[in-house]
Structure 1
Amino acid sequence: MRTRAVLVVLAVVAVVALAGCTLSAFDGTSTAENDSASAPAPAENGTLADPEEDVEGWENGVWYNESLPVNASDGLNESELALVVNRSMARVERVRNVEFDRRVPVSVISREEYADRQSGSGGGGETAATREAVRLEALFLVGERTDAQAEQERTRSASVQGFYSSSEDEITIVAPTSTPTVDEVTLAHELVHAYQFRGNIDVRFPRSPTRDERRALVALIEGDANLVDRTVRSHCDGAWSCVGHDAGSGGGDGAGDGGGGSDGGDGDGGGGDEGSVSAPRPNMGLYLLSYFPYAEGERYVAATKRAGGWEAVNALYADPPSSSEQVIHRTDDAAVDVSVPDRSDGAWTRLGDDPVVSGEADLATMFAATLYDDREGSVVSREAFLTRDDPIPITYGLEPSAGWAGDGLYAYQRDDGDTGYVWRLRFDDDAEAREFASSYRELLRYHDADRPSAGVFVVEDGPYADAFSVSVSGGRVTIVNAPTVDDLGGVHEPAGQRVAPAGHRAQLASDAVAMRGNATGLVTAPPRRGSA
């Protein structure tokens, strides 16, 4: 990879700032759950009677199925917002079978203000930024000439609908305009996060998790919230009146609660009304990457709930999934640790000791993203990625990425700023490894790669112009990337060439000079670090 402009990359979704996300490119339908519990009895004046004590489905004087005297057409004032929040809390209690012990503060900001807050908000330093940028390029999601941080910020600003901050114990709803409006479906999603992180659920956080482990835990967290908001949405399409939601369309608000002031879109609140500050078009590859916890997470949680109810879902938090593979396939298979010895020459420096673990979700995204760029064709078909007869419209369980058992990606950088990487992947068996390698070679050809020699590919032009080496050994696939074919060996010397690690080569050269003329002297490289 050639020199790139790298700032600090926006961090991956953190569990302390959980954001609702929409994927308005897809559309899914859902069926309301059976509402078997009895509704609250009406009082003599026609309103719903308050209970003698706090009960599930009632919060601060408001029942889950009450109509509210609010008019959202010009935004919500403070008292109206309080009523909507109370009703949404009651609805989460009703659907999720939980009880809030205190009110959750909620504020509303515009999408423009959110984008301004996010600008330059990444962290971790230059090395972390470069490692993240290399990872995104390896997945063919962000090209080497694109600022990875800015691209992530732009995509996130286009998709986020709201977020809960555990440090502030506050929900922030992102409205499409400066008018303070909310979508009750989004609000329900974020209220689930408030309940999760107020200590009501025993969440076990793994120590020093890999990126894929974090992604799996976030899938549980977001899947739980997504299942609740989908259920609330189905009621909003039926008997419940809902601010910020038009029955059947996902926009507007329900009858009896005022009108207007809503997001358009698919029911997650995507899009925007006329006159709003339009959200920038997202990078669809990054969009798909960030949407995994919502889609497969909901599918994972829904399957658990069907088997054992909400108690079974609560139990997941004490023993959460540890890889995206476990979420996708609902398996307990543990990922294998994958390492690669550093066989770079003196011109290249490995960035960090530990590899980045991408996981099956990232591999699936890498292939599925070809459905949404501006090139002809794709590596996977729409039929393989888009689902039918499923409330969740996409699947990350794709054939090319199935069988993943573990991976590790090491980033390298040269003094001139050029970067490269070594990416080793393990699969369940030899056939799965060959299938992945075949699809990966197809991905290279999709980006107009030539093949100058066996196992070597060159993309001459475009955002991913580089040289690639792809090799398969049993259930293992190794990919090496560098700016040119000549640089491939500098990033990762082939094992058969018996070249010493970079730190020993100067001494070896000196030894070789001293031994010239000695017919019996043999120059032998010292042992390598690690194993091939």
Structure 2
Amino acid sequence: MRRVSLVVVVALVVLAGCTAPISDAEDELDGDRELGRVGDYNATDTIEIDGSGPLTEDEREAVKHRAMARIEEIRGLEFEEDVELEVVNREEYRERWQQDRDPASQFTNELWRGAFVVDGETDVNEAFDELYGDSILGYYSDGRIVLVVDDDDRIDRTTLVHELVHALQDQQFGLGSGGATIDERRATTGLAEGEAEYVPSLYDERCGEQWECLDAATPDTAPPDQRSFNAGLFLSVYTPYAEGPTFVAHRHETTGWEGVDAVHEDPPTSTAQLIHPERYPEARPADVTVEDRSTSEWEPLTDDGERRTETVGEATLFATLWSNGVIGRPLGEGSGEYSRYNYSHPATDGWAGDTFVAYGDGNETGHVWKLAWESEGDAREFRDAYVEVLESQGADAVDSADGVYRIPDDEEFAGAYRVDLEGDEVVIVGAPTVTDLEAIHRPSPTSTAIAPAAPPTAPTPEATSRTGAPADASVPVNP
């Protein structure tokens, strides 16, 4: 599996040559004030900063209010309340973030294992903690912004503006996790994060000639596959930041800010709409039903007595294929002006919907994953790509007529897999053993066998054995 890190802030410096005084502002903002003036500051004001070290509390307040005034001018919306700002170092943030959380549920671990993102020996909650602990630059929550800095670095302009946009969204439209599935949550978050990435880009365009600004952070641009974090998990979580800005830019350029406001009332329902903005709002995910064909030995995993299901979505499918080496192009190839990565690929572009169901026998776990596609050709293309994922993990065809594959016990994603093509749908079954495949889900008589697999062409990862793992990874909306 490829490993990846989030963007890292390297250095922050405040521009010199400032004239406006620093003064306190009211906690409650005047509702009758002029748009684009917050506290004592207009968008074009400069601020006198003393020294080259971290900003004082008064300096931070001044920079914050000026940034709020500039966001109002760009966005055409007014902050209703002031926003509390706190700055903490990385160590302080880690102490706040690290909690004694329960391990992830069997369902969640089986889901991410089935997507070939987190292996069977790794708890998903631990993987999320590793991802977030060293990568958060700031967050907004309940009227308060926390910026995370390293050592004595100054606050970063882009991060401050990003989080202030979230505060504006919260005051104007409300912020929430929104969505019943992974895919829908990524899509809803894509609107919030997309706007919070797009507005700083418009802000940056005015810095220098029109506005005196703090310096923005210099991103670490090392290739993602040379980083330390789980690439597939990162790419799934990063979808709102990568594809959301292009979605919001498309809406702004075609319908104005009024059109963006309207999307807050009717958010996108799938990451496919983020990746392909022209599909919003008409192209809604298909309702994909997984029929229970299990024997009495295997039971669907439930939540409060109800069979639990999940929808992974186009973006996470892309993350699966890219992190397993099936998609070989650089992530930035074909990306838009406002997005760093491009999640579009022929093997996943035809996604129409999917449903994942996990099963347990009291000890180990397995799954059934049905994916609907726009056409039979799209279904075949994804099926072939998924077989490449199996091969990259060391899978051998057990019985090519049945589309059954086996990954050896000493590999990270050890187990048996059956891949069936049923018209414009692909049905994937994962189980501890080949015998368990049919016990979890008998194949449909209309399924099409897969051609024999070619020998693996990619090196297999470090060997570990698969176990049925333990709960849900809770991914915050911000960041």
TM over 0.5: yes
User: Where does residue 166 of structure 2 map in the other structure?
Assistant: 193
Query: Deviation per CA, 1:224-262, whole angstroms, max 9, x where unpaired?
Result: 1110122223334655333352xxxx34xxxxxxxxxxx
Tell me which of the two structures has the higher relative contact order, counting C-alpha pairs closer than 8 angstroms and 6 or more residues apart. 2
Whole-angstrom CA distance in 1 between matches of 2:256 and 2:368:
44
C-alpha displacement of 1:388: 5.8
Quick one: which amino acid aligns to residue 420 of structure 1? G
1:419–1:236: structure 2 CA closer, same or farther, 3 Å change rule?
farther
**Do the aligned partners of 1:162 and 1:171 also contact (CA within 8 Å) in 2?**
yes
Task: Please give the residue correspondences for 1:123-134 in structure 2 after superposition, counting only pairs within 5 Å.
Answer: 129-134=105-110
DSSP-derived class of the 1:314 partner: helix
Indicate whether 1:306 and 2:216 are aligned.
no
User: Where does residue 407 of structure 1 map in the other structure?
Assistant: 354
Whole-angstrom CA distance in 1 between matches of 2:339 and 2:422:
37
Whole-angstrom CA distance in 2 between matches of 1:410 and 1:186:
38
1:449 maps to which of 395, 403, 406: 395
1:158 maps to which of 134, 137, 154: 134
Whole-angstrom CA distance in 2 between matches of 1:100 and 1:317:
17
1:145 maps to which of 116, 121, 124: 121
2:406 maps to which of 445, 453, 458: 458
Task: Please give the residue correspondences for 1:50-449 in structure 2 after superposition, counting only pairs within 5 Å.
Answer: 54-71=33-50, 73-120=52-99, 129-166=105-142, 169-177=143-151, 179=152, 181-198=154-171, 200-201=172-173, 209-236=180-207, 239-245=210-216, 250-251=217-218, 265=220, 281-330=228-277, 331=279, 332-352=282-302, 353-370=307-324, 378-382=325-329, 386-387=333-334, 390-416=337-363, 418-449=364-395
Whole-angstrom CA distance in 1 between matches of 2:206 and 2:96:
34
Whole-angstrom CA distance in 2 between matches of 1:364 and 1:196:
29
Matched-pair identity in %: 33
Whole-angstrom CA distance in 2 between matches of 1:47 and 1:89:
16
**Do the aligned partners of 2:235 and 2:316 also contact (CA within 8 Å) in 1?**
no
**Do the aligned partners of 1:387 and 1:393 also contact (CA within 8 Å) in 2?**
no
**Do the aligned partners of 1:155 and 1:281 also contact (CA within 8 Å) in 2?**
no
Whole-angstrom CA distance in 2 between matches of 1:237 and 1:469:
58
Quick one: which amino acid aligns to residue 154 of structure 1? E
Whole-angstrom CA distance in 2 between matches of 1:204 and 1:161:
20
Whole-angstrom CA distance in 2 between matches of 1:205 and 1:113:
25
Whole-angstrom CA distance in 2 between matches of 1:121 and 1:222:
28
- What root-mean-square deviation, in Å, do the aligned CA atoms of Structure 1 and Structure 2 show? 3.0
Whole-angstrom CA distance in 2 between matches of 1:235 and 1:180:
24
Quick one: which amino acid aligns to residue 342 of structure 1? D
1:129–1:64: structure 2 CA closer, same or farther, 3 Å change rule?
farther
**Do the aligned partners of 1:364 and 1:396 also contact (CA within 8 Å) in 2?**
yes
C-alpha displacement of 1:158: 2.5
Query: Deviation per CA, 1:279-314, whole angstroms, max 9, x where unpaired?
Result: x93222221111111121110110010012111111
Query: Deviation per CA, 1:427-466, whole angstroms, max 9, x where unpaired?
Result: 1111111111011001111112111212011111321111
Whole-angstrom CA distance in 2 between matches of 1:195 and 1:59:
13
Whole-angstrom CA distance in 2 between matches of 1:141 and 1:242:
40
C-alpha displacement of 1:205: 8.4
User: Where does residue 475 of structure 1 map in the other structure?
Assistant: 424
1:54–1:466: structure 2 CA closer, same or farther, 3 Å change rule?
same
TM-score (norm 2): 0.79
Quick one: which amino acid aligns to residue 369 of structure 1? S
Whole-angstrom CA distance in 2 between matches of 1:57 and 1:226:
20
DSSP-derived class of the 2:154 partner: coil
Whole-angstrom CA distance in 2 between matches of 1:318 and 1:443:
38
1:238–1:480: structure 2 CA closer, same or farther, 3 Å change rule?
farther
**Do the aligned partners of 1:141 and 1:286 also contact (CA within 8 Å) in 2?**
yes
Query: Deviation per CA, 1:1-39, whole angstroms, max 9, x where unpaired?
Result: xxxxxxxxxxxxxxxxxxxxx94399xxxxxxxxxxxxx
DSSP-derived class of the 1:317 partner: helix
Whole-angstrom CA distance in 1 between matches of 2:321 and 2:64:
41
Whole-angstrom CA distance in 2 between matches of 1:216 and 1:409:
18
DSSP-derived class of the 1:310 partner: helix
Whole-angstrom CA distance in 2 between matches of 1:388 and 1:340:
35
Aligned length: 413
Whole-angstrom CA distance in 2 between matches of 1:112 and 1:205:
27
User: Where does residue 31 of structure 1 map in the other structure?
Assistant: none
Whole-angstrom CA distance in 2 between matches of 1:356 and 1:114:
31
Quick one: which amino acid aligns to residue 222 of structure 1? E
**Do the aligned partners of 2:429 and 2:437 also contact (CA within 8 Å) in 1?**
yes
Task: Please give the residue correspondences for 1:486-525 in structure 2 after superposition, counting only pairs within 5 Å.
Answer: 486-495=435-444
Query: Deviation per CA, 1:103-145, whole angstroms, max 9, x where unpaired?
Result: 10011122222222222375xx77x622222221122111111
TM-score (norm 1): 0.72
DSSP-derived class of the 2:212 partner: coil
Whole-angstrom CA distance in 2 between matches of 1:304 and 1:61:
33
**Do the aligned partners of 1:385 and 1:398 also contact (CA within 8 Å) in 2?**
no
Structure 1 runs of 4+ aligned residues shifted over 4 Å read 45-48, 202-206
Whole-angstrom CA distance in 2 between matches of 1:111 and 1:354:
37
**Do the aligned partners of 2:356 and 2:369 also contact (CA within 8 Å) in 1?**
yes
**Do the aligned partners of 1:338 and 1:407 also contact (CA within 8 Å) in 2?**
yes
C-alpha displacement of 1:211: 2.5
C-alpha displacement of 1:203: 7.3
Quick one: which amino acid aligns to residue 67 of structure 1? T
Unaligned runs of 5+ in 1: 1-21, 27-44, 252-263, 271-279, 371-377, 498-532
Query: Deviation per CA, 1:174-218, whole angstroms, max 9, x where unpaired?
Result: 1123x47311211111111111112x1377986x62332222111
Whole-angstrom CA distance in 2 between matches of 1:489 and 1:120:
40
User: Where does residue 255 of structure 1 map in the other structure?
Assistant: none
Whole-angstrom CA distance in 2 between matches of 1:439 and 1:295:
23
DSSP-derived class of the 1:153 partner: helix
1:187–1:203: structure 2 CA closer, same or farther, 3 Å change rule?
closer
User: Where does residue 7 of structure 2 map in the other structure?
Assistant: 24
1:295–1:346: structure 2 CA closer, same or farther, 3 Å change rule?
same
Query: Deviation per CA, 1:452-493, whole angstroms, max 9, x where unpaired?
Result: 212011111321111110000101110000112122122223
**Do the aligned partners of 2:336 and 2:342 also contact (CA within 8 Å) in 1?**
no
C-alpha displacement of 1:66: 2.5
Whole-angstrom CA distance in 1 between matches of 2:426 and 2:433:
20
**Do the aligned partners of 1:368 and 1:385 also contact (CA within 8 Å) in 2?**
no
